[in-house]
Amino acid sequence: MSSADGTGEQLAFIRETVRRAKPRAARGVVLAERLPVARVLVDKGVLSLDQYFDYAVPEAMSEEAQPGVRVRVRFGGRVGAHGRREGGALHDGFVVERREDSDYPGPLAPLARVLSPERVLTPKLLRLCRAVADRYAGTLADVLQLAVPPRHAGAEAEPSPRPLPPPSAPAPGSWERYAYGPEFLASLAGGHAPRAVWTALPGPEWPAEVARAVAATLAGGRGALVVLPDGRAVARVDAALRGLLGEGRHAVLAADAGPQERYRRWLSVSRGSVRAAVGTRAAVFAPVRDLGLVVVWSDGDSSHSDPNAPYPHVREVALLRAAEEGTAVLIGGVSMTVEAAQLLRSGWARPLAAPRETVRQVAPRVRTVLETDQARDEAARAARLPSVAWETAREALTRGPVLVQVPRRGYVPRLVCGRCREAARCRACGGPLESPGADAAPVCAWCGAQEQDWHCVECGSFRLRAAVVGVRRTAEELGKAFPRVPVRTSGRDAVLATVPGTPALVLATPGAEPVAEGPGYAAALLLDGWALLNRPDLRAGEEAVRRWLTAASLVRPAGEGGTVVVVAEAGARAVQALVRWDPAGHAGVELDEREELRFPPVSRMASVTGPARGVADLLGLLRLPAGADVLGPVPVFGGAGGSSAGSGSGAGGAREEGVERALVRVAPGQGAALAAALKAAQIARLALRGAETVRIRVDPTDIG
């Protein structure tokens, strides 16, 4: 950009002259004869330092200091009188480029050490990480911490096996149940890049269907990547791939393998020894060679949203990667998110779904019942079950296991005054009280303090009662109602992968439902539907449908006696979507409402959370594109910085003192400008005001 007096051209000439100047190194350092400058990404993770820095390459390191390798560099300090860099700490970094010249006119500090000659940061991975950092207003160093696992020298020393030849294209198998399913596989095998939103049928076949999509891609001579929400789903797809392709064609990238083993597997992918990778959240960055397909299963699961800065979502990273590498995309699940519905509406992807006749054949029967329905049987009243639910469970237990989904973990996760129903709160921090067991004293859910002599500050009563009943208390009550039936629980403390196909009550929190061996569960009871539907969150209905369909898909088809009873208001939109087994229709209606309200994904939005002064300072420095809206700031409830920050959730959560949240909204197409403006304002705020922590989340999944 030039000015009228030619100053711009002069500055550009000066910069070009400096750039072409021969690099200088600190005294006593012999520069490499060829490409003596290494451009390094220093692993600092500081917004103001989100750039590359030039270092001199000593001749002794020239052979190993190639683009993509890990190095140690001295960062900070000052240049002394003799041209040596004094002070400064050693930091890890990555060489991103070797060059002949440098933009820096002074003497360059030399590389301190080449940690490994392994080129772990490929050009494609670097471009992807840069795109993710820009989209989420973060730093490249932070994204690389998510994308590249820590180094283990022992794993690098091991030779990787030679890659196997491509397999034969698989038969369509159960993909024939879907309209255009066989055509989708044929397109993958032919080397094309179809993009689809897949509404999977209920039942146990989806891991095998994912495996066939991967096999078709490998048959076409390209690589494949599958990202799943948890280790149990990874294990199911891993077993399906081994059964279809045998050993040695894919790598499992999951945290439970341990750091060294996971790095060894990651290296086998990076080196091209295997052409397919399956794993959880971080696997979306796996450097698969010649990537041809990215599969994201259950993209609405909260596990796909990274809790570490800059908080990227797997689905969005996959879409960025598909755009960068020209790959096929398969966004799948038994439910459908609003974001997936928007991909269909925009024409970016095509639907991959079964005809309604097929859905009716494989789906269980769904019945609705209100929690307030009076149970006719004494045992049903003792178990807090409406009579329809209790009778369904009693009959189904003669044929197999019964799944009971309870939205709350623990024993009694929320307590209220037995007289006035005011929320029971901790005297130390104001957090909500919960009961850990039948004979245990109440404890605070926030600070863990026990309340031995609680009394209500409103009415003075000393009596407590349950506002919400958790999975362990429900298991206790159902055990009394069905005394001769085994009761198993699956939740955060102990998640079961599978249960036998014999009669039993299996109680699980959402997302922890185990798979029943054999034909599946004879019935499922979805309790306390209000706890999901009444959440003060934009995604409450969408999340309820996803959790219910996930549980119901484990139940046998209606033709085999499979029944699902949902305890919720029958007229609620989410309940009707479950009854009709129509996740796509529900997502479409939700998308229509988002368009009217200008909420994501129709618009782009970011949340700014932190101390009131810090939020105010950042908003004051923010230079937004035309038409942008700032909503708030408002007090944060339920704990600052948590997933519920600012949502008002937590059943009467207390205000976090001095912590506020603001939402910033821009029109479609302005997301990049929003992220850039937020990043610039954060840098300016830190430079002017100091280090008060203000958290920025672009496209947050939890908007209250």
- Report the number of secondary-structure helices (H) and strands (E) in the chain: 20, 32
DSSP category for residue 429: T
**For residue 493, what are the contacts with CB-CB under 8 A and spacing of at least 6?**
none
Instruction: Outline where DSSP puts E strands in 370-430.
Output: 402-405, 414-417
Hey, what amino acid is at 493? D
Hey, what amino acid is at 201? L
Residues in the chain: 704
**Phi, psi (rounded to 5 degrees) for 263:** -65, -40
Task: Give the closest residue to 193 by CA, choosing from 324, 58, 74.
Answer: 324
Between 206-219 and 231-245, two packed helices, what is the crossing angle to 10 degrees? Answer: 50
> Helix or strand or coil: residue 6?
coil
CB 330, CB 213: distance < 8 Å: yes
Q: What is the residue whose two structure tokens read 């990049």?
A: 672
Which is it for the CA torsion 323, 325, 326, 327, positive or negative? negative
DSSP-derived pairing of the beta strands 85-86 and 78-79: antiparallel
Query: Can you name the residues that pair with 55 across neighbouring β-strands?
Result: 38
Between 540-552 and 573-580, two packed helices, what is the crossing angle to 10 degrees? Answer: 30
Binding residues: 417, 420, 426, 429, 444, 447, 456, 459
CB atoms within 10 A of CB 683: 16
Give the H or E element holding residue 263: helix 259-270
Instruction: Outline where DSSP puts E strands in 154-222.
Output: 195-199
CB 424, CB 456: distance < 8 Å: yes
DSSP category for residue 407: S
CB 157, CB 267: distance < 8 Å: no
3-state SS, 337-378, equals CHHHHHHHHCCCCEEECCCHHHHHHHCCEEEEECCCCCCCCH
Give the H or E element holding residue 41: strand 37-42
Query: Could you give the CA distance from residue 358 to residue 336 in angstroms, rounded to a whole number?
Result: 18
Give the H or E element holding residue 92: strand 89-99
Query: Could you give the CA distance from residue 120 to residue 149 in angstroms, rounded to a whole number?
Result: 9
Binding residues for Zn(2+): 417, 420, 426, 429, 444, 447, 456, 459
CB 531, CB 651: distance < 8 Å: no
Query: Could you give the CA distance from residue 163 to residue 93 in angstroms, rounded to a whole number?
Result: 30
Query: What long-range pairs does 370-378 form, CB within 8 A, spacing at least 24?
Result: 370/567, 370/568, 370/569, 370/570, 371/528, 371/529, 371/530, 371/567, 371/568
Cis peptide bond prior to 259, omega within 30° of 0: no
Query: Could you give the CA distance from residue 652 to residue 642 in angstroms, rounded to a whole number?
Result: 16
